[in-house]
Amino acid sequence: MLTSTDEQLAASVRPPSHSKADEVSMTKLDQQRRQVPRAAVSLRARWRVASEQYEARVTSLSLHGCLIQSAVQPSRGEIINLEIEAPGAEWLAIEGEVIYQEAGNSFGVFFVAPDEATRNSLASLIDHHLTVE
């Protein structure tokens, strides 16, 4: 369940439609993306909704969310359970809300209330990829 703070942050990074107000939102989205480090990655992943599981690849990762490529796209607003394969064959489990879909087979996920251990694992994974680039 999203907290008030989570909802505000998710709302600030949701992509716009095409009205003037939405153009202002896109500027906010761009600013939000630049407020935290975002690493270009290519990490094996899998995501689940209900009893269905899908293979995927995470292509961009930050402390707030990620971009996922998958043959199947969940609906915008749907909560998914995501697992990302980290170096060393560890799987990082995190819950996220689908906040936008891109043409083709990509969608953006906002991480929902990750615990401290998960945030620390995300930070280490991002740092690893930023130093490798």
The domains of the chain, with CATH numbers, are 38-132 (2.40.10.220)
- Residue 73 is classified by DSSP as -
Across 61-71, b (16+ Cβ under 10 Å) vs e yields: bbbbbbbbbbe
Q: What is the residue-level pLDDT of the chain in tens, covering all 133 positions?
A: 444 444 544 444 444 443 444 444 444 445 555 577 788 999 999 999 989 999 999 999 999 999 999 999 999 999 999 999 988 768 999 999 999 999 889 999 999 999 999 999 999 999 888 876 5
Please tell me the distance from the alpha carbon of residue 62 to that of residue 78, in angstroms, as a whole number: 19
pTM given for the model: 0.73
Cα diameter, the chain: 46
